[in-house]
């Protein structure tokens, strides 16, 4: 009988956690930006085609989700930071980093990227809706140092043409 109760409690807890996580992720579609992960194969292809730098660069992913892009950057020798407001996705990213052979190059911050100081980053990666791109525009072009690169997956800034484009990626170089 005790095993039945433990099984029921465990099953209920598991289902409740998944429902809570689903509601939290769905909230992003209506309030914030939704969680939609980048495809690493596409990033690899774009990085090679555009001859973007890697080794020794400071990389930040704004809205890093489950951390896959941050881990990808660390494996290419970049000091990589993920900024994610959703605490559950941030926790998932931290758990994924436990198995990363380059985990010492990685950090995750649970904060609002609109309030993050960006001056120390060489490469900023974004996969966020156009409305957030435009909220970030002044911040990025003011805080980033000359030579920094903004890599945007899909969406661009209003009124600013990218310096380079490769398929769905738009590259902006800070002058």
Examine residue 83 and state whether it is found in any structural domain, yes or no: yes
- Flag whether pLDDT at 24 surpasses 90: no
Examine residue 154 and state whether it is found in any structural domain, yes or no: yes
Give the Cα separation of 56 and 5 in Å (integer). Answer: 53
Domain of 89 in residue numbering reads as: 40-173
- The verdict on pTM exceeding 0.85 is no
The domain tally of the chain equals: 1
Examine residue 6 and state whether it is found in any structural domain, yes or no: no
pLDDT band at 142 (very low <50, low <70, confident <90, very high): very high
Examine residue 17 and state whether it is found in any structural domain, yes or no: no
CA dihedral 152, 157, 163, 167 (to 10 degrees): 50
pLDDT band at 130 (very low <50, low <70, confident <90, very high): confident
The CATH number for 67's domain is 3.40.50.150
């Amino acid at each position: 009988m005790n095993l039945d109760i433990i099984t029921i409690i465990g099953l209920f807890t598991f289902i409740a956690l998944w429902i809570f996580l689903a509601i939290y992720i769905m909230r992003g579609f209506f309030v914030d930006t939704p969680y939609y992960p980048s495809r690493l194969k596409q990033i690899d292809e774009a990085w090679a085609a555009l001859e973007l730098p890697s080794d020794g660069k400071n990389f930040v992913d704004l809205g890093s989700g489950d951390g896959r892009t941050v881990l990808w950057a660390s494996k290419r020798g970049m000091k990589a930071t993920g900024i994610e407001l959703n605490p559950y996705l941030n926790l998932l990213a931290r758990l994924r980093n436990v198995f990363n052979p380059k985990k010492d190059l990685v950090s995750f911050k649970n904060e609002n990227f609109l309030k993050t100081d960006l001056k120390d980053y060489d490469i900023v990666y974004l996969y966020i809706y156009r409305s957030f791109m435009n909220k970030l525009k002044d911040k990025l072009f003011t805080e980033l140092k000359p030579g920094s690169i903004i890599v945007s997956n899909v969406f661009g800034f209003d009124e600013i043409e990218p310096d380079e484009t490769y398929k769905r990626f738009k590259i902006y170089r800070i002058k």
